[in-house]
Amino acid sequence: MNLQSLLENAHLDALGLLDERELADYNFAFAAAPPAVQQQIHEEQARWANLDFLLPRVEPPAHLRARVLDRLSAEILRAQAGGDVSDDVYTMRPSKRVSPIWRLAAVSLIGVAGVLGAAFLNVVMFNAKLGDNMTDDGVTRSVLSIFDGDDARINQKLFDPSTLTSIFAAKDRAFTGVACISTHPDWETATLNMRNMPAIEGSYHLVLVDADNRIVQDVANVGRGGTKRIDTHKVGNELLVPGVRIAIASVASGADFTTGEVVLSAKMG
């Protein structure tokens, strides 16, 4: 609202000719105006409010003063006795009351939501902890199973220099299976560990092979593969002396082991 509009509206405001929306706009513009402009408007409005040029030249009757004061005394007494003193036209409307039942219900709902939220978090944390424990326990059991839970055997496998461990190499690089074999002079059997061996119709055999990777002797049948777990097999270790060539061959069901196909091979020691 520019100064011209502000002054025009000030005249109209002084005469009570602005509606509610216009009055709100005017009040906003008045509050934002510089003090000097506010001062000018203040004086202009006071001048305009004196409507001599528009009003009839007539004086109120003498008795009117007493009537006005009596009427006001009566109104004041009525108000003091508990009557309504609010001005119905110019009073801001109070917000609608909210039923105490709804308020109680809302507060209860918030409380219940809080309790449920806390319980949910508690369950989530408990499950996570339980999951961790189960995983830890599973890993431990898996590792222990490789050595039949034999603590002495674990120590020998990991830390004893007398333990012979050989890692098998795949003939075909695309072959997914891996395997290793360990033996120790104190053990009655060697431990063969395999993992990710593809499932086959026949079975895998630990075999001895010659320098050309031809199978010369069967050592043990070690299953059909097909699991991603670490498979552990105890196999006889009499033939597993340092320097001997060993292999894992896939042998068709019912076929002679010498017809097997070498998939992994290693040299003891």
Which residues contact other proteins (rule: CB under 8 A)? 5, 7-9, 11-19, 22, 27, 30-31, 34-36, 38-39, 42-43, 45-46, 48-61, 64-65, 67-69, 71-73, 75-76, 79, 85-87, 89-90
Which CB sits closer to other proteins, 55 or 174?
Answer: 55
The torsion angles phi and psi of 233, rounded to 5 degrees, stand at -130, 135
Contact 222, 248 (CB under 8 A): yes
The torsion angles phi and psi of 58, rounded to 5 degrees, stand at -140, 145
Q: Least CB distance from residue 94 to other proteins, whole Å?
A: 15
Which CB sits closer to other proteins, 18 or 179?
Answer: 18
- Dist CA 51 CA 43 (whole Å): 14
**CB-based burial label for 220 (10 Å; 0-12, 13-18, 19+):** middle
What's the farthest any 2 CA atoms get from each other in the chain? 142
Q: Least CB distance from residue 105 to other proteins, whole Å?
A: 37
Strands annotated E in 164-256: 164-167, 169-170, 178-183, 189-195, 203-209, 215-221, 231-236, 245-251
The torsion angles phi and psi of 211, rounded to 5 degrees, stand at -65, -25
SS3 124: helix
Q: Least CB distance from residue 132 to other proteins, whole Å?
A: 59
One-letter amino acid for residue 168 of the chain: F
- Dist CA 24 CA 28 (whole Å): 6
Q: Least CB distance from residue 36 to other proteins, whole Å?
A: 8
- Dist CA 30 CA 107 (whole Å): 43
- Dist CA 183 CA 166 (whole Å): 9
Which CB sits closer to other proteins, 6 or 222?
Answer: 6
- Dist CA 227 CA 196 (whole Å): 6
Q: Least CB distance from residue 35 to other proteins, whole Å?
A: 2
